Amino acid sequence: MAIRITCPGCHTRFSVADKFAGQTGPCPKCKTKISIPKPEDEVVIHTPEHSEAGAVGTGGRHALKTYRRQDTRFLPLVFTSVVGFVLVALLIALVLRSVEGQPNKIVTVLAAIVLGPPLAWAGYTFLRDPELEGYRGTNLILRSLACGLAYALLWGVWMFVGGYVGGPDAFTKGMEIYQLVILGVLVLGIGTFAAYVSFDLDPGSGFFHAALYFGVSILLRLAAGLIALPGLGLGA
């Protein structure tokens, strides 16, 4: 079996027969004297038992490797609370519709604000990345408030940009389909970014997080006797 040698002088690599093991000879290139190692002096690197790098704990799990959290993302208490909240809001919208015909703009704005934080919290519980440590306690409450308020402000963005794109009659005569598409892409794009900043959600999860809020908002608008989206038809 040949012995692999690296010259310490010129760093040339070559092989010699194993019969020269333990002897000294010159490098064929630079003539530096080289000591040929014996077979027992060779360093053998064994393949590790585990193919993945990292320290292994007593249970055999890689101590430095991230792993999927064991706790579930779905929280029944949060889900039940938010569903109850939405149902109460839906009932209030139906009552206002029967009493007043249509809620005034102040009620609509307040509803958009109040609806945001609980939906942001609920959406985060099942859309967050299970590989990451979840936000909890006060930190989660503050992030839900910030994200929910950002979503509510996006209705203002819709009205402002819609008036600019569709002109002064945008919310009385209605807008073109392409104008509504532009508004939808803009608002959901900003909403996706808000979900990323607030909860570190990836773009796909952030999009569905924002869509959850606007989907429930549209449902409540319809229940209150309003059109699904301002600019979609006559009236705002």
DSSP, collapsed to helix, strand or coil, labels residue 8 as coil
Same domain flag for 131 and 204: yes
Considering its fold, how many domains does the chain have in total?
2
Q: Are residues 31 and 116 in the same domain?
A: no
Q: What is the pLDDT of residue 221?
A: 80
User: Does 61 reside within a domain?
Assistant: no
Residue 98 included in any domain: yes
Query: Which residues sit opposite 24 in a β-bridge?
Result: 35
Flag whether 101 is in a domain.
Answer: yes
Residues spanned by the domain of 182: 76-223
Residue 96 and residue 17 share a domain: no
* Residue 53 resides in a domain: no
Residues counted in the chain: 236
Q: Same domain for 165 and 95?
A: yes
Residues 122 and 23 in one domain: no
Tell me, yes or no, whether 114 lies in a domain: yes
Same domain, 168 and 125: yes
pLDDT score at 71: 45
Is 20 in the same domain as 97?
no
Asked whether residue 67 is assigned to any structural domain, the reply reads no
Instruction: Compute mean pLDDT per 10 residues along the chain, 236 residues long, and list them.
Output: 77 77 81 76 51 49 45 54 59 57 70 86 84 84 93 92 82 85 93 94 92 88 80 64
* In contact, 118 and 141? CB cutoff 8 Å: no
Report d(CA 155, CA 166) in Å as an integer: 16
- Classify residue 62 as left (phi > 0), alpha (psi -120 to 50) or beta: beta
Q: Let me know if residue 10 belongs to a domain.
A: yes
Residues 117 and 30 in one domain: no
Assign 34 to helix, strand or coil.
Answer: strand
Does residue 89 share a domain with residue 177? yes
Residues 97, 15, single domain; the answer is no
48 occurs within a structural domain: no
What is the rounded distance in angstroms from the CA atom of residue 150 to the CA atom of residue 191?
8
Which pLDDT does position 105 carry in this prediction? 72
Question: Assign residue 14 a region: left if phi > 0, alpha if psi is -120 to 50, beta otherwise?
Answer: beta
pTM of the predicted protein model: 0.60
Are residues 203 and 96 part of one domain?
yes
- Write the DSSP symbol of residue 4: E
Q: What pLDDT is stored for residue 1 in this prediction?
A: 62
Between CA 177 and CA 179 the distance in angstroms is: 5
Say yes or no: 21 and 81 in one domain.
no
pLDDT at 21: 78
